Chains A and B, each alone.
Chain A
Amino acid sequence: NAGVTQTPKFQVLKTGQSMTLQCAQDMNHEYMSWYRQDPGMGLRLIHYSVGAGITDQGEVPNGYNVSRSTTEDFPLRLLSAAPSQTSVYFCASSYTGSNQPQHFGDGTRLSIL
């Protein structure tokens, strides 16, 4: 039962470096999303995808890119990391439809120095 797998679990970057956070799910879910979690602010949606080849922006998309070339994978890219992007990042997936619960990965803790 792999579910949603995120790698790496921890990463430290210098300002200006690029980085790709990986997310994979083995449940054949159409919908995948990325959230960031900051202290006292809950989780906020960065980008989402309703299927392979389709992506869209969430609440806080600036500084992040995504692509969805396969149903299983949904990587999140930071092209030029900034200290404000220090956060814990969560990937989630579900079947489409508003009554489908989302399954979350265990997160990637990212620090930008």
Chain B
Amino acid sequence: GQQLNQSPQSMFIQEGEDVSMNCTSSSIFNTWLWYKQDPGEGPVLLIALYKAGELTSNGRLTAQFGITRKDSFLNISASIPSDVGIYFCAGLSYQTGANNLFFGTGTRLTVIP
């Protein structure tokens, strides 16, 4: 399967700080997605990116689709306690067919009040 390397694996930050995480792949993706997972729940879509170079915001979240189509980053500004959770990047490739997603290994975010 396609490998997505996500970093960092975990982060401990103070409330109010900004957060940055990224995802790289050995393969090209046509769509990059960022999901958040809370304990005991399924992943929830945060941001979807469809074009190389695209920069998209959703409230305090900003994500970019790398120009090479092999990477993406997610920034969270002014973190708050409810930002706690696991963040996953996911890529979608036309070559693999359908809507099949390949997920990164996740970044576990802890926000200290």
Binds B, one of A13-21, A38-46, A68-76, A77-85: A38-46
Closest to B4 in A: A42
Check B66 for interface membership: any CB of A closer than 8 A: no
CB of A4 within 8 A of CB of B106, answer no
CB of B103 within 8 A of CB of A99, answer no
Which residues 1-53 in B have Cβ within 8 Å of A in the complex?
1, 4, 6, 30-31, 33, 35, 40-45, 48, 50
Nearest CB of B to A18, in Å: 24
A4 proximity list for chain B (CB < 8 A) = 42
Give the number of chain B interface residues (Cβ < 8 Å): 29
Which residues 80-105 in A have Cβ within 8 Å of B in the complex?
90, 92, 94, 96-105
Would you give the 0/1 interface string for B44-70, flagging 1 where the beta carbon is closer than 8 Å to chain A? 110010100000000000000000000
CB of A104 within 8 A of CB of B42, answer yes
Check B105 for interface membership: any CB of A closer than 8 A: yes
CB of A58 within 8 A of CB of B42, answer no
Bound: A41/B103 CA distance, A = 8
CB of A101 within 8 A of CB of B48, answer yes
Other-chain contact of B40, A31, A40, A106 (Cβ < 8 Å): A106
CB of B105 within 8 A of CB of A41, answer yes
CB of A98 within 8 A of CB of B88, answer no
Interface residues of A (CB under 8 A from B): 4, 31, 33, 35, 40-45, 48, 50, 56, 58-59, 90, 92, 94, 96-107
